[in-house]
Amino acid sequence: MISYDNLWKVMQEKGVTQYALIKKYNISPAQITRLKRNESVSTHTIETFCRILDCRVENIMEYIPDEITNE
């Protein structure tokens, strides 16, 4: 799965609030909700966040392999 947990850390470090994303950068609340739920978002959305936060993709998202159970 893709995790956006790092996004919230970078936002805090940079002093960017969810309110600012919505009001200043015109990010839709639905996009923020999708990110909070670790749901899929477009590469355009990821690019927009990288531009706003002046960071790299790997600073805001990471791939976490699903656990594989061998029975």
Q: Determine, yes or no, domain membership for 14.
A: yes
Torsion sign, CA atoms 38, 44, 48, 54: positive
Contacts 24+ apart (CB under 8 A), 26-35: 35/4, 35/7
Q: Determine, yes or no, domain membership for 69.
A: no
Q: Determine, yes or no, domain membership for 17.
A: yes
| Range(s) of the domain holding residue 31 | 2-60
> How many structural domains compose the chain?
1
pTM of the predicted structure, to 2 decimals: 0.84
At 45, list the tokens.
């959305």
Q: Determine, yes or no, domain membership for 71.
A: no
Q: Determine, yes or no, domain membership for 52.
A: yes
Q: Determine, yes or no, domain membership for 65.
A: no
Mean pLDDT to the nearest integer, 54-69: 89
CATH of residue 6's domain is 1.10.260.40
Mean pLDDT to the nearest integer, 4-26: 96
- Tell me the pLDDT tens digit for each residue of 36-56: 999 999 999 999 999 999 999
Asked whether the predicted pLDDT for residue 3 surpasses 90, the reply is yes
Q: Determine, yes or no, domain membership for 7.
A: yes
